[in-house]
Amino acid sequence: MGVFGRAAGHEQVVHCYDARTGLRAIIAIYSTALGPALGGTRFYPYATEDDALDDVLQLSKAMAYKAAVAGLDLGGGKAVIIGDPKRDKTEALLLAYGRFVDSLGGRYITACDVGTYVEDMDVIAKVCRFATGRSSANGGAGNSGVLTAYGVFQAMRAAAQHRWGEATMRGRRVGISGVGKVGAVLAGHLVQDGARVLVADVDDAAVRRTLQSHPDVTAEPVDSLPAQDLDVFSPCALGGALTAGTVDVLRAGLVCGAANNQLADARLAGVLHERGVLYVPDFVCNSGGLIQVADEISGYDERRATSRTAGIFETTLNLLAASERDGVPPAVAADRIAEARMAAAGGVA
């Protein structure tokens, strides 16, 4: 399939190259029907350029749906920079990237994602008017992982109320796969709420930091965590965590996590639904970070952003009620809500 076929449904895909710094980046804008396309920049060592394109197309579409369901007046976009951030990231490369983003005139607004951090957004903002997720010293909101984790926790509470009749994780066994920017903060919320938390991560240092902060948390190998006797499985690392193999061994009755594009195959949403596993779509429960950086556009107010993120609880309850009413998986119900809102604005749906 050609590049136009692969990007079907997207408004714009921009390939960015700078020979001097070695920058290779792709910016994908799925929709601006509801407003400028907001989404983070992922810095990742993709095996091929095709893999990078596939990822940015999927992520940008998810961002559009995320903004629509969250009730934000924003569209969806995403960017990827191809390379190893530990080796290839330089100030000159970030500045070159920032100039490309700025050249789009605000159609795309960037923020942090995997491999990029607050300090990187501060650098990009030197040459780009459309960078959020900056440090508080530079007029930003700081680490968006904080409200992302808070939003996932609110979605988890709502799902618990829907499934078990009580909006708490008290006494529940929750397995978090990935304890980086978001998963580690989520672990803290869960421990405070009385959950029994198990964690796993390919980064041993991340696990050690989490155990130091929360001594009652238990560490498990990444591969074996889904098969543990869990009430909740929470994917909080990279996408594609829910494969057919993972779903086969999954013992949890609820899946709710921060990772983007958790389903390796979209058909698995139906499989989970048929097996009685309540799957909260990732773009619903992880929208706290988007809400935070969106608030930064008009001048960040922490109380306002936190209050709006708390609204993920009601959004999730309403979604699960619609899913039950219509007899469809929550992922299908969420897609319908997002598509209806974009279509009403005259955009792609």
* DSSP three-state, residue 87: helix
Residue showing tokens 């929470």: 234
Whole-angstrom Cα distance, residue 54 to residue 52?
6
Residue showing tokens 């803290």: 188
Q: Which helix (H) or strand (E) holds 232?
A: strand 232-235
Whole-angstrom Cα distance, residue 316 to residue 22?
42
Q: Active site residue: 78, 89, 126, 181, which one?
A: 78
- The yes-or-no answer on residue 181 being catalytic is no
Whole-angstrom Cα distance, residue 171 to residue 230?
11
Residue 80, CA distances (Å) to 4, 21, 128, 318, 337 in order: 18, 16, 17, 33, 27
Whole-angstrom Cα distance, residue 255 to residue 226?
10
Q: Strands 108-109 and 75-82, how do they pair?
A: unpaired
Q: Strands 37-38 and 75-82, how do they pair?
A: parallel
* DSSP three-state, residue 152: helix
Question: By C-alpha distance, which of 79, 258, 99, 123 is closest to 180?
Answer: 258
| Beta carbons of 34 and 72 less than 8 angstroms apart | yes
* DSSP three-state, residue 25: strand
Whole-angstrom Cα distance, residue 150 to residue 148?
5
User: What are the catalytic residues?
Assistant: 78
